[in-house]
Amino acid sequence: MKIAVCIKRVPEMDVRFKIAASGNAVDEAGLKFDMSDFDGYAAEVAIQIKEKLGVGEVVVIALGPDTVQETLRKALSMGADRAVQLKADAVPADPWSIAEALAVELRAGSFDLILFGRMSLDAANHSVPNMVAELLDVPCVVAASQLDTSGGTVKARRELEGAAETVECSLPAVVSIDEGIARPRYPSLKGIMAAKKKPLEPKPAQLGAVRMTRRAAALPPDRAAGRIVGEGAAAVPTLVELLRTEAKVL
């Protein structure tokens, strides 16, 4: 099975972000970067499928400036076989533009299975996978929390609000991965050494049309400082009174 995994390099999220002087982006100075969470799950899923089958190829693809090479190397050190960088000065705000560029590479690769994360942690569009599937005209399952491709088809489960659904389609297919399938492995020392020799090919990204731009980025208003109304069960009457009269939620 030939598997592609699209991975995005995003900042680590456990910080207080600053807005860049441009006013429409996050200030990246001093931030640490890594593979977007769900993309890590997708990479792990791909590697596990290959390990189980004993044959096949896992190709990781990232669109962005040269800094994405570090993220691609990480995926290689986890066990992916080769990497492609779709080189662009910046990642566009319009998911369509990204999807078109990824589709060019994916179409050429004739993959059996194309994996994505459910969403990128920074842009959070949850759109690129569905769009790529439309462009390639292949079936698509988004946000799979279980995935079985052993029968040469896709059998997946999707979590709904308070329910779930089971979905089937044939291969080749696009599948985006939710949490719950696989936790990404830590690259072993051997993996890291091996990754240095694996192919990583940069190519210019053929970005698609941009019809959506990010005009501004802002920090959400701080929550007004709350207060501790008291200790133990004795504080409950005060709390309920506040919920009724002040917050008006009772």
Partner 1 sequence: MPNILAFAESRGGDIRRVAFEAITAARALASGGEVHAVLCGPPGIAAKAAELAKYGASVVHVAEHAAFANYAPESIAAAVAQLVSASSIRAAVFAASAQGKDLAPRVAAKLRVPIATDVIRAQWEGETLVADKPGYTGKVIATLALTATPALISVRPGAFVAAESPAAGRAETLALPLDPANARVKVTQTIAGDNAKLDLGEARVIVAGGRGLKEAKNFELLETLAAAFGNAAVGATRAVTDDGWRPHSDQIGQTGRLVSPDLYIAVGISGAIQHLAGMRTSRTIVAINRDKEAPIFKVADYGIVGDSLEVVPALTSAVREARKGA
Ligand X SMILES: Nc1ncnc2c1ncn2[C@@H]1O[C@H](COP(=O)(O)O)[C@@H](O)[C@H]1O
Least Å distance, CB 34 to partner 1, is 13
Using CB under 8 A, which of the segments 42-50, 53-61, 77-85, 162-170 binds partner 1? 162-170
> Footprint of ligand X on residues 47-66 (CB under 6 A)?
61-64
Residue type, 57: E
Calpha distance 68→11 (Å, rounded): 11
247 belongs to the binding site for partner 1 (CB under 8 A): yes
- Interface with ligand X, residue 187, by CB under 6 A: no
Please say which residue, 53 or 124, places its beta carbon nearer to ligand X: 124
Segments in 66-207 forming alpha helices (H): 68-78, 95-109, 128-136, 189-197
6 binds, among partner 1, ligand X, none (CB under 5 to 8 A by kind): ligand X
Q: How far apart are CA 79 and CA 190, in angstroms?
A: 10
Among positions 95-154, residues that touch ligand X (CB under 6 A) are 95, 98, 116-117, 119-120, 123-129
Q: Is 35 in the site for ligand X (CB under 6 A)?
A: no
44: contact with ligand X by CB under 6 A: no
Write the DSSP symbol of residue 84.
Answer: E
The one of ligand X, partner 1, none whose footprint includes residue 7, by CB under 5 to 8 A per kind, is: ligand X
> What residues contact 121, with CB distance under 8 A and at least 6 apart?
10, 13, 36, 37, 38
Q: Rounded to the nearest whole angstrom, what is the least distance from the CB of residue 92 to ligand X in the complex?
A: 9
DSSP states along 137-169: T--EEEEEEEEE-TTSEEEEEEEETTEEEEEEE
The answer to the question of residue 99 lying near partner 1 (CB under 8 A) is yes
Dist CA 37 CA 17 (whole Å): 18
Residues that bind ligand X (CB under 6 A): 6-8, 36, 38-39, 61-64, 91, 95, 98, 116-117, 119-120, 123-129
